[in-house]
């Protein structure tokens, strides 16, 4: 096993330091990478830890179900939402494992408790430097402590370390709290879908 470590300093609030540890494992089918990231300064220490393989199947089903529910809330029928969620998960997790470049991190607080997750990876364009936050969730009872903000900043640093030059995301219109967070972090709307109910 060959281990390399890289420390990146960034000009984020409180001059925080981001440490990225990349471990390369040689396997019979090639080289795979795992990463863990630790936010080392400020009042909200957060660790991004790659989701353990033994938990991946359960995470995938929960994530699919939550996405389908959000699609229904945004106006799709249950049947369309389920089909769309299934197609999306099959595209990004073929055979139940992440597509190349995609990683799902547990978001872990300073007490070592998993408080949510972050799924990040390349977007669907031909631009290798365009990355996407595909999903981020902080448990409802853990929100309001800055954990999501810190996880987002760590995600930005992780993407930058992978060669990303842009980072995008989608947010459902009904999720005003998340939209406020993203705007406060410098994300700008690039398209807006609107809908009016008739009768």
The per-residue pLDDT for 180 is 75
How large is the average pLDDT for residues 76-102? 94
Question: Could you tell me which residues come within 8 angstroms of residue 134 by beta carbon, excluding any fewer than 6 positions away?
Answer: 92, 102, 119, 120, 121, 169
* Separation between Cα atoms, residue 15 and residue 32, nearest integer Å: 32
For the segment 4-53, what is each residue's pLDDT rounded down to a tens digit?
A: 222 222 223 333 333 333 332 223 233 334 454 444 434 578 899 999 99
Pinpoint the alpha helices (H) of the chain.
53-73, 78-92, 147-161, 176-184
The per-residue pLDDT for 61 is 96
Tell me which of 10-14, 54-58, 126-130 is least confident: 10-14
Question: Could you say which DSSP state residue 28 is in?
Answer: T
H helix and E strand count, the chain? 4, 8
How large is the average pLDDT for residues 144-153? 90
Kindly give the pairing relationship between strand 130-138 and strand 166-169: parallel
For the segment 171-187, what is each residue's pLDDT rounded down to a tens digit?
A: 767 767 777 777 878 88
Long-range contacts of 64-72 (CB under 8 A, 24+ apart): 64/88, 64/89, 66/137, 67/135, 70/172
How large is the average pLDDT for residues 139-147? 91
How large is the average pLDDT for residues 106-135? 93
The per-residue pLDDT for 194 is 72
DSSP characters over 129-147: TEEEEEEEEE-GGGTTSSH
pTM of the model: 0.74
């Amino acid at each position: 096993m060959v281990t390399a470590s890289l420390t990146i300093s960034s000009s984020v609030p409180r001059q925080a330091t981001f440490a990225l540890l990349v471990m390369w494992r040689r396997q019979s089918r090639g080289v795979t990478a795992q990463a863990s990231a630790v936010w080392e300064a400020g009042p909200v220490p957060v660790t991004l830890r790659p989701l353990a393989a033994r938990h991946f199947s359960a995470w995938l089903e929960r994530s699919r179900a939550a996405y389908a529910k959000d699609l229904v809330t945004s106006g799709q029928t249950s049947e369309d939402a389920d089909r769309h969620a299934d197609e999306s998960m099959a595209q990004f997790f073929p055979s139940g494992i992440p597509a190349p470049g995609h990683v799902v991190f547990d978001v872990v607080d300073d007490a070592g408790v998993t408080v949510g997750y972050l799924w990040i990876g390349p977007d669907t364009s031909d631009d290798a430097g365009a990355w996407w936050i595909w999903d981020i969730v902080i448990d409802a009872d853990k929100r309001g402590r800055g954990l999501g903000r810190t996880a987002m900043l760590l995600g930005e640093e992780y993407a930058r370390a992978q060669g990303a030059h842009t980072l995008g995301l989608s947010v459902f219109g009904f999720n005003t709290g998340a939209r406020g967070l993203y705007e406060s972090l410098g994300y700008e709307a690039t398209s807006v879908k609107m809908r009016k109910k008739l009768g």
